[in-house]
């Protein structure tokens, strides 16, 4: 393998001719580093993936001249990467065998700069997950902590339940691991045609966020999720000028595909935080009735203009009775006060909240570029705007109350889809998608978990976060979490 230098010429292109800091993490060029920053990838081969991870998380030799050392378990990867030292155990049959292997390495005094383990065959359904959490999880994570050098990373591959339940195995394992290591990031491997796996990355450091464990015994699951796509990579047209004024719009095609999956023509679709009106536009295009509520008067105006542009031509060209479409100004925490919605129930609700106060985070994705273009960075200065709630747990609580309350407006068996992403701030992962699901589908929640579709954004530029220093991906996969209203006794 050739050892490459961190390319100053590439670095110069993003730092105005300025030579960047030395690359402390690996030997990659700026371009190769940036490729790895993307948080989802189309899986090609286990060997290639292992090589990319090893090359990202280690140098061939550290500055003191010592070779880096890596442990690879359960991957089809032979360790011939001199001068790197790579201990490779391609086939592991059971969790007990994995633990024994790690114990032997610990007793031999081995220490690693990177560890990569494929757990997909060992934790493959709810039964094996429960045994793992009960019997092996504490031992596995404490061994990983002992084998990893301080601050170094390990990657764990985890898949979906191969018995077809929608229980999110990777979330449970990664969350458990936070008691021993710091949860840093995740990458999503897309498997054609409709499957995927997670690569969860943990670091040998303390995690400052307590885990919110998701347990199979407590999460209400909905049967029959076979028709939900595991991932989608839409190709939306560029946003129009007025839509650019909104910092975070989702594409119509994504929402249309959900509306068509979960409703019939003429049904009522609702979004309680409709922003630029995308849900209502998608409803109109799918011949459904669309209702939206939005706090900011500016976005209400944009949404209403979009509705007019969408409905006027149809009034003249279509012989069917016009469908109801409505966007009103209001607060999602007080929907009962909105006269237009009184006594209206919905067949489907699809929505995306502010991602906590992420937009006011100066380093957040896209913010620098928006600032340069003089575009608004936050939704509003309104105290009732959820994007202005500073405390994460308070934000989570308000969101949970809104969504639990919405179940009263959903028809029986109706679906609520929430589009969110996990958030990284100050080196802490706030797993919003997982935390919300644990609350909405846990013992006191009003929903069953149907499953998740990853919306993978291939139309967003990659930004150079922490290049040369540590691993901060560009989160370009968003969770579209589908929940079904739970029947109440």
Ligand X SMILES: C[S@@+](CC[C@H](N)C(=O)[O-])C[C@H]1O[C@@H](n2cnc3c(N)ncnc32)[C@H](O)[C@@H]1O
Contact residues for ligand X (CB under 6 A)? Answer: 246, 248-250, 273-276, 278, 293-296, 299, 331-333, 352-354, 379-380, 384-387
Residues across the chain: 489
Q: Which is nearer to ligand X, 154 or 280 (CB)?
A: 280
Q: Which is nearer to ligand X, 35 or 384 (CB)?
A: 384
Q: Which is nearer to ligand X, 353 or 451 (CB)?
A: 353
Bridge-partner residues for 202, per DSSP?
A: 154, 183
- Which token pair is 177? 């691991």
Which residue number places its CB atom closest to ligand X? 275
Cβ burial, residue 475 (10 Å; 0-12/13-18/19+): buried
Q: How far is the CB of 314 from ligand X (least distance, A)?
A: 21
- Whose tokens are 């590439």? That residue is 10
Q: Which is nearer to ligand X, 170 or 354 (CB)?
A: 354
Q: Which is nearer to ligand X, 353 or 445 (CB)?
A: 353
Q: How many helices (H) and strands (E) does the chain have?
A: 14, 17
CA torsion sign for 157, 161, 166, 172 is: negative
Q: How far is the CB of 398 from ligand X (least distance, A)?
A: 8
Q: Which is nearer to ligand X, 356 or 379 (CB)?
A: 379
Q: How far is the CB of 356 from ligand X (least distance, A)?
A: 11
Q: How far is the CB of 420 from ligand X (least distance, A)?
A: 9
Q: Which is nearer to ligand X, 184 or 273 (CB)?
A: 273
Q: Cis before residue 316, ω within 30 degrees of 0?
A: no
Spatial strand order of the sheet with 231-232 comes to 231-232, 447-456, 477-485, 410-420, 346-351, 268-271, 289-294, 325-329
Q: How far is the CB of 395 from ligand X (least distance, A)?
A: 10
Q: How far is the CB of 329 from ligand X (least distance, A)?
A: 9
Helix axes 169-177, 432-440, angle to 10 degrees: 110
Q: How far is the CB of 213 from ligand X (least distance, A)?
A: 28
- CA 452 – CA 479 distance, rounded (Å): 6
CA distance readout (Å), 407 to 267, 275, 330, 384, 400: 17, 21, 18, 21, 11
Q: Which is nearer to ligand X, 33 or 250 (CB)?
A: 250
- Which token pair is 23? 């690359």
Q: Which is nearer to ligand X, 165 or 257 (CB)?
A: 257
In terms of phi and psi (left: phi > 0; alpha: psi -120 to 50; beta: otherwise), the region of 321 is: beta
Q: Which is nearer to ligand X, 182 or 249 (CB)?
A: 249
Q: How far is the CB of 484 from ligand X (least distance, A)?
A: 21
Helix (H) or strand (E) run with residue 424 in it? strand 423-425
Q: How far is the CB of 457 from ligand X (least distance, A)?
A: 13
Longest dimension (CA), the chain: 79
Strands (E), 34-84: 40-42, 69-73
**Shortest CA distance to 333 belongs to which of 392, 380, 277, 403?**
403
Contacts 24+ apart (CB under 8 A), 317-322: 320/287
Q: How far is the CB of 269 from ligand X (least distance, A)?
A: 13
**Shortest CA distance to 268 belongs to which of 247, 254, 286, 250?**
286
The pair phi, psi for residue 436, each rounded to 5°, is: -65, -45
């Amino acid at each position: 393998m050739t050892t490459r230098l961190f390319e100053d010429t590439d670095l110069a292109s993003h730092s105005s001719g300025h030579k960047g800091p030395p690359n402390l993490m690996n030997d990659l060029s700026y371009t190769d580093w940036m490729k790895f920053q993307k948080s989802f990838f189309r899986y090609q081969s286990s060997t290639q993936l292992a090589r990319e991870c090893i090359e990202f998380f280690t140098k061939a030799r550290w500055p003191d001249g010592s070779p880096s050392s890596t442990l690879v378990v359960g991957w089809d990867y032979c360790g011939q990467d001199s001068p790197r030292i790579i201990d490779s155990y391609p086939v592991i049959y059971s969790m007990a065998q994995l633990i024994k292997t790690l114990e032997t390495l610990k007793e031999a005094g081995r220490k690693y700069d990177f560890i990569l383990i494929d757990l997909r065959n060992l934790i493959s359904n709810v039964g094996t997950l429960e045994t793992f959490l009960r019997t092996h999880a504490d031992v596995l994570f404490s061994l990983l902590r002992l084998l990893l050098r301080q601050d170094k990373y390990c990657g764990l591959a985890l898949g979906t339940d191969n018995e077809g339940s929608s229980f999110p195995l990777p979330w449970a394992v990664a969350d458990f691991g936070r008691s021993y290591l710091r949860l840093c990031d995740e990458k999503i491997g897309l498997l054609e045609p409709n499957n995927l796996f997670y690569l969860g990355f943990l670091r040998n450091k303390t995690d400052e966020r307590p885990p919110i464990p998701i347990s199979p015994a407590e999460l209400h699951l909905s049967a029959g999720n076979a028709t939900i796509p595991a991932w989608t990579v839409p190709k939306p047209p560029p946003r129009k000028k007025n839509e650019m004024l909104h910092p975070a719009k989702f594409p119509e095609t994504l929402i249309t595909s959900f509306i068509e999956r979960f409703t019939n023509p003429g049904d009522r679709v609702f979004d309680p935080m409709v922003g630029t009106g995308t849900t209502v536009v998608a409803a109109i295009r799918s011949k459904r009735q669309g209702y939206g509520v939005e706090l900011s008067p500016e976005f209400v105006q944009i949404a209403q203009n979009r509705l007019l542009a969408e409905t006027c031509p149809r009034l003249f060209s279509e012989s069917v009775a016009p469908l109801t479409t409505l966007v009103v100004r209001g607060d999602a925490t007080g929907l009962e006060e909105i006269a237009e919605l009184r006594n209206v129930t919905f067949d489907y609700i699809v929505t995306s909240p502010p991602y906590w106060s992420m937009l006011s985070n100066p380093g957040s994705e896209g913010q620098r570029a928006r600032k340069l273009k003089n575009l608004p960075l936050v939704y509003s200065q309104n105290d009732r705007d959820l994007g202005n709630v500073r405390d994460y747990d308070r934000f989570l609580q308000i969101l949970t109350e809104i969504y639990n309350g919405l179940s009263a407006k959903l028809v029986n068996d109706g679906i609520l889809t929430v589009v969110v992403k996990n958030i990284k701030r100050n080196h802490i992962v706030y797993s919003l998608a997982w935390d919300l699901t644990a609350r909405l589908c846990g013992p006191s929640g009003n929903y069953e978990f149907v499953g998740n579709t990853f919306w993978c954004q291939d139309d967003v530029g990659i930004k150079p976060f922490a290049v040369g220093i540590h691993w901060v991906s560009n989160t370009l996969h968003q969770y579209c979490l589908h929940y079904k209203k739970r029947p109440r006794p």
